[in-house]
Amino acid sequence: MTAANLAGKPVAEALLAEVAQRAQALPHPPRLALIRLGEDPASVSYVRSKDKKAGEVGIQSEVHALPEDTTQEELLSLIARLNAEGSVHGILVQLPLPAHIDEAPVLLAVDPAKDVDGFHPYNVAQMWAGHAQLNPCTPRGILEILDFYGVDVAGKRAVVVGRSEIVGRPMAAMLLGRDATVTIAHSRTADLGAVTREADILVVAVGRPQFITPEMVKPGATVIDVGINRIDVGGKGKIVGDVHPDVAEVAGGLTPVPGGVGLLTVAQLMANTVTAAELQAAER
């Protein structure tokens, strides 16, 4: 058996085409504010890609690049100003933040209606209640992949390896909302392989290179690899996932790394921005 390649590119392209149409139908272009502190290369790259993609789908994007020594009060003041601006529909604070910034009050400060990352406690509660309109981007993008490739979730055994608030926990909530029977596994799960082998749908987000091996996967399972890890191969850097490539010989479907889930994270951010703009327009 060789797993079907669940590539992210066609999924992202279809989603972005829909987003562009929705953006064009609004009375005013959606506007997204991206906030970045410092010059961390990864954060600079992520924000640049989000800014570029926004322009491609008709979203007006503005980058607030703040010095790394920006104070908590200065950051919160900027967020308050953006909350009050009616023309700003979405606000994203790029994580991680510098060590001197307390992340929780920052995420709490973003207006839930403009929280296009889906991290505000109000939106998290709505997600677990099954009523969220702004979901965290990566897990929502994973649902787009499953839908695009016709993977039925209802009634299936789903295992999520990883319990982060960005991927693992919201992924479990969304799969539960689709009527899957869900298990969250993590670093302290006893006999992890026995748990993962039960999964019809296995989502892996642990940040450990090639951690999931073939013997940990149920034959024919759909495997979603969220990991993006850089390893050294012969003195050269290589990007690999949390799932070993040999899993393709066991699984029924497998997302590639790179070229899989990562593409959907940015695409879903654009979708969330347009959704926020639509909801705000409807209230006026």
Is 147 tagged catalytic?
no
Question: What is the separation of C-alpha 258 from the centre of its chain, rounded to a whole number of angstroms?
Answer: 15
Catalytic one of 111, 117, 225, 242:
117
The pLDDT, as a whole number, for residue 65 is: 97
User: Are both 29-113 and 136-262 of the same fold?
Assistant: yes
Find out whether 230 is annotated in a ligand binding site. no
Confidence grade of residue 66 (pLDDT, cut at 50, 70, 90)? very high
**Mean pLDDT for the stretch of residues 41-69:** 96
DSSP letter at 27 equals S
Find out whether 164 is annotated in a ligand binding site. yes
Residue carrying structure tokens 């209606």? 113
Is 242 tagged catalytic?
no
The pLDDT, as a whole number, for residue 236 is: 85
Find out whether 207 is annotated in a ligand binding site. no
pTM of the model: 0.95
Catalytic one of 94, 210, 268, 280:
94
Q: Is the pLDDT of residue 235 over 90?
A: no
Architecture of domain 136-262: 3-Layer(aba) Sandwich (3.40)
3-state SS string over 129-169?
A: HCCCCCCCHHHHHHHHHHHHCCCCCCCCEEEEECCCCCCHH
Find out whether 36 is annotated in a ligand binding site. no
Q: Is the pLDDT of residue 259 over 90?
A: yes
Tokens of 1: 């058996």
Domain range annotation of the chain: 29-113, 136-262
Is 152 tagged catalytic?
no
Confidence grade of residue 1 (pLDDT, cut at 50, 70, 90)? low
For 76-91, give one letter per residue: b (16+ CB within 10 A) or e.
bebbeebeeeeebbbb
Query: Which of the listed CATH numbers 3.20.20.450, 3.40.50.10860, 1.10.8.60, 3.40.50.620 matches domain 29-113?
Result: 3.40.50.10860
